[in-house]
Structure 1
Amino acid sequence: MEEAKFAIIDVETTGGGIKGNKITEICIIVLQNGVEIDRFVSLINPQREIPFYIEKLTGIDDAMVEDAPTFETLAPAINTITKDCIFVAHNVGFDYNVVRAEFTALGIDFNRKRICTVRLAKKLIPGLFSYSLGNLCTSINIPHRDRHRAQGDTEATVLLFRRCIELDPDYEVISGFLNRKSKESFLPPHFKSADFEELPTNAGVYFFKDKKGTPLYIGKAINIQKRVLSHFREKSNRKYALLQDTHSIDFERTGSELLALLREAELILKHYPKYNKAQKNPSKPYKLTSYPNKKGIQQFALHKNKIAPVSLMQFYTHEEAIYFLELVCETFNLCPKYCGLQQGVTICNHYKLHTCSGVCKEEIEVSTYNARVAEAFNFMKTYDDSCLLLDEGRDTGEKSFIYLKQGKYAGYGFIDAKQSVHKAEDFTPYLVPQKNSGYADRIIRRHLTTTSHVEKIILKEEDTFTQDIFERWVS
């Protein structure tokens, strides 16, 4: 590592995160064996107006960069001076990605190993109140002149990096940060890599939190660790701002993806995190109704944004409604035409369903067809039953359950996979009651009507389930 070259870099920009951000000034100081061997400093014409708040912060205004070279002009020199160097910056995720974006806009692939002096200082100089460049320099007595100018900030970062080398003379920590398998280069600057390794690899919800522990963002995932890692690799301005504010990441395992969806919706409503997009109120549902037509055939119809008769079912998207109607049509050998799947045809000819009861061709009696529709009605009524939805638990030997009271979400819990569940009293000690909401109803309805094999136990006061039925559900 002694022979390695480190390009310590700072850029000033037009502001606005990473995407669309343009460089107004750059300074590069190359170190080898702790000695400066090269330096490059220049203002850059961003070819756009510099916002007033940036001008006040950096002192760089439009007049100063009017005659400065563009990044395209300087790109060959910047590429050359940083070639075979390790890219070092204070909060490297910002400087590196802004520089890389400028090269990408020119059709050049800029790819360097990188080290963040925020994370390096946290590792080698732990326990400080703040690791911003200004506060860090003050804490460890490093002179920091011309703050918020590229050369002043780079010179301070050089001194900080040299101090870190003194504390890591064998480059053990630095080498660890450069390991391809290490996540140090893209973790948020305030987030510990050890905490990342503790994130689970199964389903649940996760919380990005600020330094006070307030949730900034809440999400759900089938694999929490993998999903969190994908956030770290995103380059949007909003995601960059989130990661800068993140000091810790908490989680809640659910085992079940369905339960993760429900918990995410509940927790967002509870905390209203700053970086979650506002949840839209569920749109008015499609309502499924039935009526006897002129021939006396019981026919299904979907209504939206209208005052409909008492509905048999409701769906929050047209696709879910069609999926369910196709399922009912096929299961009970009904006619696509009279299931609302085809319109304007005399005889059904559905693209997907190639069997028909024959009622549209008058091959069976209307009464026979309507008897099949009655069976479908009874099937639909089961969606309003009180029941348990059983799914995977957080660990082996455990099952999660979701409790629906008369078809509405009422809570969740976890039970031993070997535990018998015969009636409500068997699961209520483990129940975490929850209030239903439009969001929860939409999630539950989507799961019930678009999942082919929903594992559920119908709950009625008089029900007593045999052991073999329960084992079928938990196996």
Structure 2
Amino acid sequence: MYAILDIETTGGKYNEEGITEIAIYRYDGHKVTDQFISLVNPEREIQPFVVNLTGINSNMLKNAPKFYEVAKRIVEITEDCIIVAHNSSFDYRILKTEFKRLGFPYKRKTLCTVELSKQLIPDMESYSLGKLARALGIPVSDRHRANGDAMATVKLFKMLLNKDLEKVIIKSSVKNDKKPKMASNLKDIIEELPTETGVYYIHNDKGEIIYIGKSNNIKKRITQHFTNKSSKSKKIQALVSAVTYEKTGSELAALLKESAEIKKNKPIFNRALRRTIFTHALYSFTDDNGYINLKIDKSNIEDTPITTFSTRPSGKNFIHKVTDDYNLCQKLTGIYATKTSCFNYEVKECLGACVNEEPPSEYNKRVQALIEKYSYKNKDMLLIDRGRDIDEKSVFLIENGVFRGMGFFDLNHQINNREILESLITPMENNRDTQHIIHSYMRRNKRLKIIQL
């Protein structure tokens, strides 16, 4: 649990500042669960430059509560939370100073979104909240007011959680939890999980991730883990202390995050899995007569396939389907082994490429259309899929046939700005597994929107 906050002060000498406004959002990693926003009477003068910056003046604060009147609420809303702020050392110091004046020790763990942004979004021109938000397409209202800046920090932190493939933030949060959910209380863990698509992380009592999985129904999948009688499931049940998750909305996003994060984190119960998640691929070659032939074969690391398959039967089913869809020759797609004409030619459903009657140029146009649809070799494009919320979409960037990464964008913002797009994207490795995941998903999902860049 996180307490994301922003504080406006009077300015002045170090450790003599007073709070003029505070906004705190209690955030569970997915949504805001509580909030507290208030002006505060600092009982001291506000520096003129601060008045000009924030618009908060002494007249506005005459009837505002003093700090001791809001202190209890601040303690309650930040209880068992990690304090998150943009330049958290400043906000946390101010809070501790105010509590110290009341004779109350205030201690919380902290996370700084400036430092996290430098690690997870490198090479930005500036890491000030205003400029960073602008570069990332995060809307900010009431800049230099506590509520506006705190809400912008919530949106930034949500983006940083998504970019944190090594799950450093989540592991730290689980470890900080004062009341770990022990394995004897598995039902309580299940009750807090969503029935939505995403990636889930099973933690031990040290916060370490021991298993990563993906599901279209996280609650149902975790229930299976906790009720299964297999040897691995029993070991997980004995070690689990907490389950965290990330909603992705898109199954493609969940598949890619699961694959990348297993490789990054190497959980103990994932290590034997997924050395290769596909075995066969579709290849093309041009024969002596100038016709493009297709064939399903074992995947070869040295060759670039058109698309890949988990099994030979799934490849065979695909080649049968596209042979009909694109009116291709059964002989040239490897379905019908013959030295003469194919079966479809005999029933007048093949245009005669098998016996050199159809010109290669005409036949090859249809094959190229198939290849164009199912391959992203040398292409610059965006794949757009479902987001985590109704007003959001997921986006996957492919440049020159290479998968660069994925991210999420608000439907209220255009993604035609290349700089904003690239800052939204979480860089991910382009490997055989990610290529297969994308190929397979593009084949199976007709609703996937493709934008050529």
TM-score band, normalised by the shorter chain?
0.5 to 0.7
Cα-to-partner distance string for 1:339-375 (whole Å, 9 max, x where unaligned): 222223633237xx99433333665344432443444
Matched, 1:219 2:213: yes
Partner Cα distance (1:354, 1:241) in 2: 61
Cα-to-partner distance string for 1:393-427 (whole Å, 9 max, x where unaligned): 11121111222223332211111234333353352
Partner Cα distance (1:448, 1:243) in 2: 36
Report the Cα offset of residue 285 of structure 1.
Answer: 5.3
Partner of residue 428, structure 1: 422
Q: Compared with structure 1, are the counterparts of its residues 354 and 455 closer, same or farther at alpha carbon in structure 2 (3 Å cutoff)?
A: farther
The runs of 5 or more residues in structure 1 that have no matched partner are 1-186, 460-475
Report the Cα offset of residue 323 of structure 1.
Answer: 4.4
Q: Are the aligned partners of 1:347 and 1:361 in contact in 2 as well (CA < 8 Å)?
A: yes
Q: Compared with structure 1, are the counterparts of its residues 277 and 436 closer, same or farther at alpha carbon in structure 2 (3 Å cutoff)?
A: same
Partner Cα distance (1:390, 1:354) in 2: 40
Report the Cα offset of residue 194 of structure 1.
Answer: 4.2
Which amino acid is the alignment partner of residue 415 of structure 2?
A: V
Partner of residue 241, structure 1: 235
Which amino acid is the alignment partner of residue 218 of structure 1?
A: I
Further displaced range: 226-235 or 410-419 = 410-419
Partner Cα distance (2:182, 2:226) in 1: 7
Cα-to-partner distance string for 1:205-237 (whole Å, 9 max, x where unaligned): 111111001111111110111111121221123
Partner Cα distance (2:301, 2:392) in 1: 45
Partner of residue 315, structure 1: 308
Q: Secondary structure at the match of 1:339?
A: coil
Which amino acid is the alignment partner of residue 264 of structure 2?
A: K
Match of 2:353 among 359, 373, 376: 359
Partner Cα distance (2:264, 2:348) in 1: 48
Pairwise mapping of residues 264-343 of structure 1 onto structure 2 (< 5 A)? 264-282=258-276, 286=281, 288-293=283-288, 295-304=289-298, 311=304, 313-317=306-310, 318-343=312-337
Stretches of 4+ aligned residues off by more than 6 angstroms: 305-308
Q: Compared with structure 1, are the counterparts of its residues 451 and 322 closer, same or farther at alpha carbon in structure 2 (3 Å cutoff)?
A: farther
Q: Secondary structure at the match of 2:451?
A: strand
Report the Cα offset of residue 286 of structure 1.
Answer: 3.2
Q: Are the aligned partners of 1:287 and 1:303 in contact in 2 as well (CA < 8 Å)?
A: yes
Partner of residue 444, structure 1: 438
Q: Are the aligned partners of 1:286 and 1:314 in contact in 2 as well (CA < 8 Å)?
A: yes
Q: Secondary structure at the match of 1:341?
A: coil
Partner Cα distance (1:366, 1:192) in 2: 63
Partner Cα distance (2:383, 2:361) in 1: 35
Matched, 1:386 2:384: no
Cα-to-partner distance string for 1:298-337 (whole Å, 9 max, x where unaligned): 32334547798x6562424434543443454334322121
Partner Cα distance (1:265, 1:331) in 2: 32
Q: Are the aligned partners of 1:286 and 1:321 in contact in 2 as well (CA < 8 Å)?
A: yes
Q: Compared with structure 1, are the counterparts of its residues 211 and 390 closer, same or farther at alpha carbon in structure 2 (3 Å cutoff)?
A: same
Partner Cα distance (2:293, 2:431) in 1: 31
Partner Cα distance (1:371, 1:391) in 2: 29
Partner of residue 18, structure 1: none
Partner Cα distance (1:223, 1:250) in 2: 14
The Cα RMSD (Å) is: 3.2
Partner Cα distance (2:425, 2:299) in 1: 36
Q: Are the aligned partners of 1:188 and 1:232 in contact in 2 as well (CA < 8 Å)?
A: no
Q: Are the aligned partners of 1:281 and 1:438 in contact in 2 as well (CA < 8 Å)?
A: no
Pairwise mapping of residues 175-190 of structure 1 onto structure 2 (< 5 A)? 189-190=183-184
Q: Secondary structure at the match of 1:337?
A: coil
For the pair shown, which has the larger CA radius of gyration, 1 or 2?
Answer: 1
Pairwise mapping of residues 65-464 of structure 1 onto structure 2 (< 5 A)? 189-191=183-185, 193-282=187-276, 286=281, 288-293=283-288, 295-304=289-298, 311=304, 313-317=306-310, 318-344=312-338, 346-349=340-343, 355-360=349-354, 364-379=358-373, 382-422=376-416, 424-459=418-453
Cα-to-partner distance string for 1:17-36 (whole Å, 9 max, x where unaligned): xxxxxxxxxxxxxxxxxxxx
Partner Cα distance (1:303, 1:229) in 2: 38
Partner of residue 11, structure 2: none
Report the Cα offset of residue 379 of structure 1.
Answer: 4.4
Q: Are the aligned partners of 1:335 and 1:360 in contact in 2 as well (CA < 8 Å)?
A: yes
The runs of 5 or more residues in structure 2 that have no matched partner are 1-180
Q: Are the aligned partners of 1:191 and 1:246 in contact in 2 as well (CA < 8 Å)?
A: no
Q: Are the aligned partners of 1:188 and 1:243 in contact in 2 as well (CA < 8 Å)?
A: no
Q: Compared with structure 1, are the counterparts of its residues 249 and 373 closer, same or farther at alpha carbon in structure 2 (3 Å cutoff)?
A: closer
Which amino acid is the alignment partner of residue 420 of structure 1?
A: Q
Query: What TM-score do the two structures reach when normalised by structure 2?
Result: 0.52
Report the Cα offset of residue 273 of structure 1.
Answer: 1.3
Q: Are the aligned partners of 1:324 and 1:449 in contact in 2 as well (CA < 8 Å)?
A: no
Q: Compared with structure 1, are the counterparts of its residues 456 and 354 closer, same or farther at alpha carbon in structure 2 (3 Å cutoff)?
A: farther
Cα-to-partner distance string for 1:259-310 (whole Å, 9 max, x where unaligned): 11111111111222122252343267535121123x44332334547798x6
Partner Cα distance (1:205, 1:444) in 2: 17
Partner Cα distance (2:314, 2:417) in 1: 31
Report the Cα offset of residue 245 of structure 1.
Answer: 0.8
Q: Kindly, what percent of the aligned residue pairs are identical?
A: 29
Number of aligned positions between the proteins? 269
